[in-house]
Amino acid sequence: MSNKVQIFDTTLRDGEQAPGFSMNVDEKIKLAHHLQKLNVDVIEAGFPIASEGDFEAVSEIAKTLKGPEIAGLARANKKDIARAWEALKYSQKGRIHVFIATSEIHMRHKLRMEPEEVLERAVKSVEFARGFTDNVEFSAEDATRSDPDFLAEIFTEVVKAGAKIINIPDTVGYTTPDEFTKLVRYLKEKISKVKDVLISVHCHNDLGLAVANTIAGIKAGARQVECTINGIGERAGNASLEEIVMILNIRKDVVDCYTDVDPKRIYPTSRTLSLITGIPVQPNKAIIGRNAFAHEAGIHQDGVLKEETTYEIIKPEDIGLSSSTLVLGKHSGRHALKTRLKTLGYEFSDDELNRIFKKFKQLADKKKEVYDEDLEVLVAEESLREYKKYRLDSVNFASGSNMIPVATIQIKIDGKPFEEVGCGDGPVDAVYNAIEKIVKGKCKLTRFIISAITSGSDALGEVTVHIEEEGLSSIGRGTNTDIVVASAEAFINALNRLDVKKKMTQKKEFNL
């Protein structure tokens, strides 16, 4: 048995289905390029039948990306499968990923089908998919709550029908490592009597065991794992790609397997996802959380200063996180900026670099010190340039303990200038009231988050806002040394994203 474990990244499909993580086509393509650089084996780019936006994203990714296999999800019916292949046909390595539920609770209450009907549907769907490609994966939804004998039967039959990969999903995060080990071994033994196929596992984190169950699956013989960047996904999320990869890197004494993922691309990819979605990683998140390499306790600090390995089993540089503090200043040139950005994992065209350099110089004039985190903000701003229905031209405000806060806002909408004055309970409220007067929207602000990107009184402030309008939600982010201006930028960014959503067919969401 090979010791290579394939990384099947489903950030763009299962991860994107989580509330607040929805991405448009351009955002999906941008993240797909980061996954390509990360060197994952398979990118599940979306669910083509779900919406025109998903179809377009899968199609564009299939056309443009070289290297990873591109997968599209399809329910076990001809319409889904044909639509999936229509999007995937441009890929050098297109994979149709067919699924149907196999647990009694799903078959009875969701599908309203008998096991015999499910078996027949699964086999016919795989046979139909094989008419397009020999690269077909079959998943038994809610496998860990299914009857093992029925699973063995349905897997055996779909393998006979031509399935190349068999996936065992813990769809609701129900199983435990010991149970999962036993199930994977049993199914692998049964299936191998028919044909030696690739066994895959897909674990959710409802009980906090997604990564542990995934590692158990690998030890039991699985050689593909389905996971997401930052562990995002339905409900409590999926197994975290970065955790799985680093476990296999660090604990070869326990799991003698490897992946082809480039660990130094982990942090840039994680950060890109957070910047696209506007949802930060929790500080204590393993591997990529802000506190993952922070030491405050005196005993820990003393130990790390004497020998890093006393309290650090992973070096920050191993995952692409810079250990340097001050990076660049106002006297730094374009070449120095380009080199530093490349070290952080970012490469840009000359035009993109020129725009970032101009903003870098403006920031360097405001701040005494420019940190890597500041550079990442500039990168994020460049990545969000495409949202341009609304453009913020200027923000002016006055506020104090003995006056009513007032703000004057200048905005361009489709190139046409507008100006409005607003009052409020504070300068941010005044700014938002002025913007709402201009856009004449009915959106509701549901969440407002402020955080400092770096330390110091001159730190960049990052504002993330969540807005809702007529059943659609959007996330926006803004950064500035002035938190009121950052708040305005975040609101405008959210409005632009909402405008994009309004133009897309509302997507139906599915579990796997």
Find out whether 268 and 345 touch, Cβ atoms under 8 Å.
yes
* The pLDDT value given to residue 144: 98
Q: Would the pLDDT of 299 be above 60?
A: no
Query: 457-480: per-residue pLDDT in tens?
Result: 666 788 888 888 887 878 888 888
Cα distance between residue 23 and residue 11, in whole Å: 10
pLDDT tens by residue, 416-461: 999 999 999 999 999 999 999 999 877 889 888 887 766 666 667 8
For 279-298, the pLDDT digits (tens) are 888 888 999 887 777 654 55
pLDDT at res. 143: 98
For residues 376 and 460, give the distance between their C-alpha atoms in angstroms, rounded to a whole number: 11
Q: Does the pLDDT value for residue 324 go beyond 50?
A: no
Q: Mind listing the pLDDT tens digit for each residue in 45-54? A: 999 999 898 9
Q: Is the pLDDT of residue 21 over 90?
A: no
Mean per-residue pLDDT of the chain: 88
35, 492 contact by CB (below 8 A): no
In this prediction, residue 166 carries a pLDDT of 98
Are 474 and 501 a contacting pair, CB within 8 Å?
yes
Could you read off the pLDDT of 203-252 as tens digits, one per residue? 999 999 999 999 999 999 999 999 999 999 999 999 999 999 999 999 99
Banded pLDDT at 44 (limits 50, 70, 90): very high
Is 90 exceeded by the pLDDT of residue 315? no
Quote the pLDDT of residue 352.
85
Q: Taking the chain, what is the end-to-end CA distance rounded to the nearest angstrom?
A: 27
pLDDT tens-place string over residues 98-132 = 999 999 999 999 999 999 999 999 999 999 999 99
Q: What's the whole-model pTM score?
A: 0.80
Please report the sign of the dihedral spanned by the C-alpha atoms of residue 101, residue 104, residue 105, residue 107. Answer: positive
Question: Alpha-carbon distance 30 to 41, whole Å?
Answer: 17
Nearest 5°: the CA angle 101, 107, 113 is 115
8 Å CB contact between 481 and 21:
no
| DSSP notation for 181-221 | HHHHHHHHHHHHTT---EEEEEEB-TTS-HHHHHHHHHHTT
